[in-house]
Amino acid sequence: MAVLVTLWGARLTFNFARKGGYTGMEDYRWAILRARMSPGQFQAFNLFFIVLYQNALLVLITLPAVVALAFPAPFTGWDAAWSLLFLLFLVGEFTADQQQWKFHQRKRAAGGTLSPGFVDTGLFRYSRHPNFFCEQAQWWMLYLLGATAAAASGVSFWGGALNWSIIGAALLTVLFIGSTVFTESITSEKYPAYADYRRRTSMLVPWPPRRASAEQPA
């Protein structure tokens, strides 16, 4: 589990750094969020969501490791399956990051305008946010690793396969859904073509796209 999380952290650090995250640059969404809220509302949001919720979440998503430590068990086929799926989702997230990065590089080279304004090819043809999906899935795999250790130690379903450490992955999913809805509200205002992209493309779970509206019968 430590190796998997270290690989996850390496990808996150690399992607954050190349976007200028360590230069003090602010995510463009914060300015938009501040404009949509009163100063008091934003301060409350900052305290409860950014300071408390997100920092608590960093602890909660690691709880499956505590479960695995409490119930040491031999490495099983299920452990191998969850680990391989974790790595698959990690590669998927890195691939989506690369596709998004290259699109924005081309967009910048074109003077800031590149039709349709957002990436809708590659993995983004099957999910509007494949990187978000893969990020969440990795932490669900980590939960399953902890749950498998508990179950292999003879713990019953309640407390074993389904145990209290699920709260981290569950709250992370809640966070991503809320963040995705907010991000899409911004994108929809900027790019008219995004409405059709939303209609034909799954939000998170990769899925074959529906037919574009132009292809629909009259």
- Identify the pLDDT of residue 146: 97
- Per DSSP, the three-state class of 37 is coil
Closest CA to 73 of 145, 141, 3, 143: 145
For residues 20-40, average pLDDT: 90
- Identify the pLDDT of residue 123: 98
- Identify the pLDDT of residue 215: 47
For residues 198-203, average pLDDT: 97
Residues 62-113 have pLDDT tens digits of 999 999 999 999 999 999 999 999 999 999 999 999 999 999 999 999 988 8
Percent of the chain clearing pLDDT 90 (strictly above): 84
- Identify the pLDDT of residue 217: 36
- Identify the pLDDT of residue 69: 96
- Identify the pLDDT of residue 218: 28
- Identify the pLDDT of residue 212: 64
- Lowest pLDDT segment from 110-119, 120-129, 195-204: 110-119
Instruction: Please provide the average confidence, as pLDDT, over all residues in the chain.
Output: 93
Provide the total of helices (H) and of strands (E) in the chain, helices listed first: 9, 0
Cα–Cα dist 173/196, whole Å = 25
Reply yes or no on whether the pLDDT at 37 is more than 60: yes
Cα–Cα dist 127/206, whole Å = 5
The DSSP code for 26 is P
Domain residues of the chain, as ranges? 2-18+29-209
- Altogether, the residues listed in the chain come to a count of 218
Cα–Cα dist 183/179, whole Å = 6
DSSP characters over 171-207: HHHHHHHHHHHHHHHHHHHH-TTHHHHHHHS-SSS--
